[in-house]
Amino acid sequence: MIEFFFQFLWALDATLRVATPLMLCAMAGIFSERSGIVDISLEGKLLSGAFVAATIASLTGSAWLGLGGAICASVLMSLLHGFACITHKGDQVVSGVAINFLASGLTVILGIAIFKRGGQTPTLSSDERFRPIELWFVDILDNIPILGSVYRELISGHSLLVYVALICVPVASFILYRTRFGLRLRAVGESPIAVDSAGVSVTWLRYRALIVGGVFCGIAGAYLSISHGANFVREMSAGKGYIALAAVIFGNWRPIRAFWACLMFGFLDAITSRLQGVDLPIIGEIPSQLMVALPYIMTILLLSGFIGRPSPPSAIGLPYRK
């Protein structure tokens, strides 16, 4: 029983680690998509964030500069996306895919050019990374059964960026639903012409939404390479941007619901690695490929109307023309 409890705790702990970049990317996706811009480029922003974070941390020895660099790189990608599909009213999916390819190629080429290690960056020492931090009172609470273990194993002992991601969710929700910016942002994703006729600039509003998304993706990228990992490996985002987009759809473009979707996908990921090679009663061994594909399968089921009815922003994907 005790052993099972700890197994479960560790699974949740792993879930949180896996879900952190998903949450950040999902919030980025929500901001972008709620403003009416399809954001398939989450993956590319995540990857470029990860690369720049590792590169700068490795060159300067500062994790914070790495984080800053990641955010800048990711915002730059966002602006590129915006330039193509807001200013020049291009196709948002095409632009997004282009950014993903760009990030995929550029990170490897620059990586080889700078470090000559086949696209990887050098392994960072622990003070060049965001290390797990121990929260207050861990030792005191340790004496309380169950709660103490939950606190020590699950809540405490994560990197700063994990907590940042967790805080981002309610912050995103607050911004969307309680602030002027949020109201306008949701409005521009529903009916840009209504926003325009209310005297608010559609272009600037959408750019701001993309910039916010870029910041979130940048943090997520930094988490991958200088917090969760200790260097950049080519294609290290490994589809997390797409899964985050699936979580956005699953969460019906709402931050809190998308957060739960991220946890669910994170949990699937966490148990996949634990279940590998384990014979379960009745079902037998579950192929890991199935588990990896599960988020996508579930999203397709959702989109085809088997689980609830997603209601995307009405004006999503449509460039605004007067």
Partner 1 sequence: MSKMTQETSGGNAACYILELQKVCKSFGLVQANKNIDLQIQPGTIHGIIGENGAGKSTLMNILYGLHRADSGRMFIDGAPTRIKSSADALLLGIGMVHQHFMLIPRFTVLENVMLGSEGGALLKLGRAATIAKLKELGQTFDMEVDPDLLVSDLNVGMRQRVEILKALKGGAKILILDEPTGVLTPQEATQLFDILNKLRAKGVTILLITHKLAEIMAITDNVSIMRGGEMVGHRKTSETNPQELAELMVGRKVLLNVEKPEAKPMDVALTVNNLGCFSSRGHKILDNLSFEVRAGEILGIAGVSGNGQTPLMEILSGMRKPDEGSFEILGKKITPENEVTPNIMRENFIGHIPEDRHKHGLILSFEAYENMVLGFHNSNLTGTKKTLDRNYMLEHCNARMEEYDIRPRNSKLLASSFSGGNQQKIVVARELYKNPKLLIVGEPTRGVDVGAIEFIHKQLIALRDRGCAIILVSVELDEIMGLSDRILVMNKGQEVETIPGEDANAQKLGLMMAGISQGAKN
In order, the DSSP letters of 156-167 are SSEEHHHHHHHH
Task: Give residues with Cβ within 8 angstroms of 251, minimum separation 6.
Answer: 26, 30, 257, 258, 259, 260, 261
91 counts as binding partner 1 under rule CB under 8 A: no
CA distance 56 to 64: 9
By CB under 8 A, residue 116 contacts partner 1: no
Contact call for residue 307 and partner 1 (CB under 8 A):
no
Q: Which residues pair with 132 in a beta bridge?
A: 159
Helix (H) or strand (E) holding 133: strand 132-133
Residue choice 34, 45, 184, 240 for contact with partner 1 (CB under 8 A) = 184
Integer Cα distance of 96 and 196 in angstroms: 25
Among 102, 183, 268, 271, binds partner 1 (CB under 8 A): 183
Strand partners, 159: 132
Q: How far is the CB of 191 from partner 1 (least distance, A)?
A: 5
314 binds partner 1 (CB under 8 A): yes
Q: Which is nearer to partner 1, 187 or 224 (CB)?
A: 187
User: Which residue type is seen at 161?
Assistant: L
Q: Does 308 bind partner 1 (CB under 8 A)?
A: no
Among the residue ranges 5-13, 33-41, 182-190, 242-250, the one whose residues contact partner 1 (CB under 8 A):
182-190
Distance of alpha carbon 172 from alpha carbon 176, whole angstroms? 6
Minimum separation from the CB atom of position 195 to partner 1 (A): 7
d(CA 122, CA 115): 7
CB of 168 to partner 1, least distance (A): 19
Tokens 């190629």 belong to residue: 105
Least distance between partner 1 and beta carbon 305 (Å): 10
Residue 287: DSSP 8-state: P
In the stretch 139-178, what mask flags binding to partner 1 with x, by CB under 8 A? ---------------------------------------x
> Which among 143-151, 193-201, 253-261, 268-276 is the span making contact with partner 1, rule CB under 8 A?
193-201
Question: Smallest gap, in angstroms, from Cβ of residue 88 to partner 1?
Answer: 19
- Find the binding residues for partner 1 in span 194-233 (CB under 8 A): 194-201
Yes or no: say if 136 and 81 are a contact pair by the CB < 8 Å rule: no
Contact 74, 48 (CB under 8 A): yes
29-37, 188-196, 211-219, 280-288 -> range binding partner 1 (CB under 8 A): 188-196
**By the rule CB under 8 A, 249 interacts with partner 1:** no
Q: Note whether 252 and 26 are within 8 A (CB).
A: no
Which residues of this chain interact with partner 1, rule CB under 8 A? Answer: 178-184, 186-187, 190-191, 193-201, 314, 322
